[in-house]
Structure 1
């Protein structure tokens, strides 16, 4: 099977977010480009490809003028995507900042739960995946989360997870997990700001929902 047809099968069964770069490139450049060229482009990566001249690209086996336009269009799209210097300071001021920072998990096919570690000024100082395949943690993993926070000298934690089904809907276990995080945070002196769940079509903040419920009860 050619890399192009192989790539279509990968995307069909695993989704575009869990498909390798060479396979994604195979779809973009088309079935006329040979596998060795696709592998080389994959090794170069987007930054390497963008630095090649038209003459250099046309030297690759199977690259035609039509393929060249597809690659240039891809570079144009990538240049439109906001880029962060992950080594520079990124401050969390709202749930939208969190959603932007962990946007890579939003469209994943499997559930995933990550933690953001912040300093006292709400600047991100670390990120760690805690579990995949579910957004429910047992107590041992919650304790691990706080140990990691202390190890990084973090003052605050934001819990982040995704909802592969599409719409992010809060479940009882989400509230229970957040309550347990809060109970441990009081002992560890590490503040838990929120648990934000990213769905493909919408995102929700548990802290925001709790605040809204409290306002409703007082009304």
Structure 2
């Protein structure tokens, strides 16, 4: 029985043809997803939806979370593509990685980004076993409390990136870096969670206008 191509197959054929004539960086993000998904699952609507979510959010999704948007085999291909991207970044950065040797190093690294923000920004620095920086994530923006700064969200990226340790930092818009009771509570919970998952909380640093407070330097970690 003769069968013509489906709309999704025609779509992916067109995208592949474009790739053969133009460089990948001239290709729409949704079209790149069409190549990864392939077959009947690569509908324009589905690919555009993925592009709308954005690379940053998609890159942090688990295989199961990606599977909510695309068929299982397509989710596996997308997941693998992001992993290849992470590994490429690691290879390219060898020999020029930032090494964080002290609380001062960590504070200086993010100070210009968050010191003068009007809201609290909670940043996580991801480190390998030699304290090389392998990633940075702003986990949330807003007032710090135990319900928002949940260890699950903070360690999620660290686990995915195979980090050996993390340094957490957040700013105090008031300019005073002295920790609140909530800051201490969050630090305690993060330390306990890190011990459970095997990823050390090296420090929790509060950035003020001109000074910073290190829980490590005050022997609270």
Corresponding position of 2:130: 121
TM-score (norm 1): 0.54
**Shift in Å, 1:157:** 0.6
1:147 equivalenced with 2:156 (yes/no): yes
Corresponding position of 1:166: 175
1:202 equivalenced with 2:196 (yes/no): no
1:118–1:156: 8 Å Cα contact kept in structure 2?
yes
1:188 equivalenced with 2:197 (yes/no): yes
Aligned residues: 127
2:146–2:182: 8 Å Cα contact kept in structure 1?
no
Runs of 4+ in structure 1 displaced over 4 angstroms? none
Per-residue Cα deviation, 1:50-95 (whole angstroms, up to 9, x for no partner):
xxxxxxxxxxxxxxxxxxxxxxxxxxxxxxxxxxxxx530011111
1:116–1:157: 8 Å Cα contact kept in structure 2?
yes
1:111–1:162: 8 Å Cα contact kept in structure 2?
yes
Corresponding position of 1:176: 185
Distance in 2 of aligned mates of 1:162 and 1:154? 23
2:206–2:212: 8 Å Cα contact kept in structure 1?
yes
1:165–1:199: 8 Å Cα contact kept in structure 2?
yes
Where structure 1 has 5 or more consecutive residues not aligned to the other structure, the ranges are 1-86, 215-219
Corresponding position of 1:65: none
Distance in 1 of aligned mates of 2:216 and 2:182? 15
2:105 paired residue among 82, 97, 109: 97
Where structure 2 has 5 or more consecutive residues not aligned to the other structure, the ranges are 1-92
Distance in 2 of aligned mates of 1:143 and 1:182? 12
Corresponding position of 1:25: none
Distance in 1 of aligned mates of 2:146 and 2:132? 25
Distance in 2 of aligned mates of 1:163 and 1:156? 23
Provide the secondary structure at the position in 2 that maps to 1:131. Answer: strand
**Shift in Å, 1:140:** 7.1
**Shift in Å, 1:136:** 2.6
Provide the secondary structure at the position in 2 that maps to 1:167. Answer: coil
**Shift in Å, 1:109:** 1.6
Aligned-residue CA RMSD (Å): 2.0
